[in-house]
Amino acid sequence: MKTPKQRRPRREGLVYGHLERVSRDLLKDHFGTVQRYVGKGSGIYALYRKDRLIYVGLASALSGRVRAHLRDRHEESWDQFSIYLTVRDQHIKELESLLLRIARPKSNVQGGKLFGSRDLKNKVQQAIRAQYKQEVAGLFARSARGAKALPKGNKEEKEKVLQLFPEGARVRATNHKKSFSAIIRRDGQVRFDGTLYSSLSAAAKAALGRSVNGWWF
């Protein structure tokens, strides 16, 4: 006897109904019909003028909220609208904020706020500045005759450290449940426990009391 095939559960979408790019006259002349299908559903709506997005909003009773714009400060600024009915409203505010930040409709006074989101711009800028600083330093490095010679291994490791970590970066490591931290200086040296070391491996050796690869311990 063949085993009956199991049906895959139907994926539940965020939007369960929509009405896109329709005339505002629909709300004036046939509001009852619109409300019959939209009901008091919640979701996001958009107002357009000559196919250009001018306003985005969210509401718990969409049809009534959009009709209210026929009489408020947006009264003469739009000629079409769209409605998107959503299944759950727990992320609707964040979705509205994303739309505001991306589209920037001119009639929305306030921009969207991303609660709990970390702005990565400063981190990226710091990393790029550190990279540029290293590149410029390489272009104007002192001549080998005037510079104090460094052991080849230490010099290579310093360059690697500066390429991977921005100035002032704090590095952490754990060995046998014991944690260690150190700070990367602008010259590539590593400050650990108040002492400067020429490499991560040298700092790791001081921490553990034995020779060890500072990148992997």
pLDDT digits (tens, 9 = 90+) for 101-138: 777 666 655 655 655 666 667 777 787 787 777 776 66
Predicted TM-score (pTM) of the model is 0.48
User: What pLDDT, on the 0 to 100 scale, is given for residue 148?
Assistant: 44
Look at residue 179 in the predicted model and tell me its pLDDT: 82
pLDDT at residue 109 in the model:
55
Query: Do 25 and 92 fall into the same domain?
Result: yes
Is 40 domain-assigned? yes
To the nearest 10°, report the CA torsion of 174, 175, 179, 185: -70
Last residue of a domain, one of 76, 103, 130: 103
**Is residue 111 in some structural domain?**
no
Radius of gyration of the chain (CA): 30
83 assigned to some structural domain: yes
- Tell me which long-range contacts 203-208 makes (C-beta under 8 A, separation of at least 24): 204/173, 204/180, 207/175, 207/180, 208/175
pLDDT confidence of residue 147: 40
pLDDT in tens, 169-193: 777 777 777 888 888 887 778 888 8
Q: What is the pLDDT of residue 142?
A: 46
- Give the position of tokens 């609208």: 81
Give every CB contact of residue 160 below 8 A, 6+ residues apart in sequence.
Answer: none
Asked if 184 and 139 sit in the same domain, the reply is: yes
With respect to residue 114, please indicate whether it lies within any of the assigned structural domains.
no
Tell me, what's the pLDDT at 79?
A: 92
pLDDT at 161: 62
**Residue ranges for the chain with pLDDT beneath 50:** 1, 142-153
42 touches 89 (CB < 8 A): yes
Q: Which domain holds residue 92?
A: 15-103
Same domain flag for 99 and 125: no
199 occurs within a structural domain: yes
